[in-house]
Amino acid sequence: MTNFAFRRHSRNPRAALLGAVAAVALGASLFGLAPARPALAEAPLAQLAPASGPASFADVVERVKGAVVAIKVKAVETPNNEGEEGPELSPDDPLYDFFRRFGQGRGGMPQKHITQSQGSGFIISADGYVVTNNHVVDHASEVEVVLDGGKTLPAKIIGTDKRTDLALLKINDGGNLPFVTWSNTAPRVGDWVIAVGNPFGLGGTVTAGIVSARGRDIGAGPYDDFLQIDAPVNRGNSGGPAFDTHGGVIGVNTAIYSPSGGSVGIGFAIPTEVAKDVVEALKEKGSVSRGWIGVQIQGVTQDLADSLGLKSTKGALVAQPVKGGPAESAGLKAGDVIVAVDGEKIDAPRELSRKIASAGPGKTVELAYLRGGVEKTARVKLGALPAEKELRADLGGVDRSNVLAGLGLEVQPAAQARRGGGEGLYITNIDPEGVAAQKGLRRGDVILEVGGQAVNDSGDLSSALEGARREGHRSVLLRVKSAEGTRFVALPVAAS
């Protein structure tokens, strides 16, 4: 398997390793005539010939190129050991220069330093509003915009939105700037796409390809709905526009899959239907307000569907309502599966996230959900989405000579471990090759319920598993609390 890196493609990208395997099979057909067989009918030539593309993109590029800009960013960074005290050294001390070389100045404190990076952007109004990526200007102390003719202007950050990776800047040139407009037509898979930007600092670079796919979820956030394009985009293209053949902006280039940082023909753009609304909100208020129902949700796997007695895996499973949140106030509980919002079906959790977010705070929506196989409805007044939190969980090994019921884990009462608020069973160790680990359980998780029943010691867990086996269930549903929140996990009872 080839390891690929998921990269935000500014000149200073943050990358996370992903895996992918690509294979293309080419086949050939042999045609011949046999005396006893009828001749094969030939398809009309017009049906066999591929549709021809435009003879040149030069006309559309000439119209839009002046509105595409390069973004130069200066940021102040501090070494990771910020706040760690070093030795108090005077300039006369022999070790003074040594500590300064490795980021520590007078008094042993880390020294801040200036970093520079580049990206792309595009002007959307004659008075100088510029769209780019949030990650291009994140932590910026100074932002400059370089126009197509080479003129450099200072830029003000009007607003940013981390959840969609968009930012809006403002420049002033004292006149009417060239600008481009959003496309009114969503592109189809197979449509031409033209990317213009500043890859590797080479401003005004034009590449072309097609829209390879729509609705891509690349794990960047809860509102992922990317266009996948094969027009080559590289580091420095971040924030640049993707155009259709009429010169309308169909997306904002934001990320690539690549083993080395260069283009391999898999790029991602934020579609206009997402970017347009976010940019308008940033222009009006400097931030984006999103609706919030106050639930932790997850997808419905086949194992979970079997455990819950569901006929389908569609919907968003409520792992935990936030205490005092809109959903809990409306009566929703853990284990409910939300299947529609205002009559519109929900197939997956990210669809629920997008619909609720776009509805906005203060709006009342009607949720349809399944509880015990019966569909119910609830009217929920949405709150405002709180600030984003970053959480991490730990992993560990296990002594295989002492595991619970063949699942590959060790537990102790959470009250005894003083974890998880004192409720449930704290997982102290887990076998990385065991069934529990394969289903996503980790050391540090707290098992709150098994089969809908609270568990407070290992005997409760063993009894619940044995009861599920006697009743002929293929799996049993665990409600688990971790650093990321609360979720459901279906464990096969045969393993226990």
165 carries an active-site annotation: yes
Is residue 298 a contact partner of residue 471, using CB atoms and an 8 Å limit?
no
Question: In 3D, which of 68, 72, 70 has the Cα closest to residue 141?
Answer: 72
Catalytic residue selected from 135, 183, 445, 496: 135
SS (H, E, C) the chain: CEEEEEEECCCCCCEEEEEECCCCCCCCCCCCCCCCCCCCCCCCHHHHCCCCCCCCCHHHHHHHHHHEEEEEEEEEECCCCCCCCCCCCCCCCCCHHHHHHCCECHHHCECCEEEEEEEEEEECCCCCEEEECHHHHCCEEEEEEECCCCCEEECEEEEEECCCCEEEEECCCCCCCCCCCECCCCCCCCCEEEEEECHHHCCCEEEEEEEEEEEECCCCCCCCCEEEECCCCCCCCCCCEEECCCCCEEEEEEEEEECCCCCCCCEEEEEHHHHHHHHHHHHHHCCCCCEECCEEEECCCHHHHHHHCCCCCCCEEEEEECCCCHHHHCCCCCCCEEEEECCEECCCHHHHHHHHHHHCCCCEEEEEEEECCEEEEEEEECEECCCCCCCCCCCCCCCCCCCCCCCCEEEEEHHHHCCHHHCCEEEEEECCCCHHHHCCCCCCCEEEEECCEECCCHHHHHHHHHHHHHCCCCEEEEEEEECCEEEEEEEEHHHC
- For residue 435, report the phi and psi dihedrals to the nearest 5 degrees: -65, -40
Any idea which residue has 């959480």 for tokens? 391
Question: In 3D, which of 251, 122, 114 has the Cα closest to residue 197?
Answer: 122
CB atoms within 10 A of CB 123: 25
CB atoms within 10 A of CB 418: 10
Catalytic residue selected from 10, 120, 183, 238: 238
Catalytic residue selected from 161, 165, 303, 336: 165
Name beta bridge partners: 144: 72, 154
Pull the structure tokens for residue 170.
């403002």
Is residue 133 a contact partner of residue 238, using CB atoms and an 8 Å limit?
yes
User: How many angstroms separate the CA atoms of 173 and 22, rounded?
Assistant: 47
139 carries an active-site annotation: no
473 carries an active-site annotation: no
Which sequence positions are flagged as catalytic?
135, 165, 238
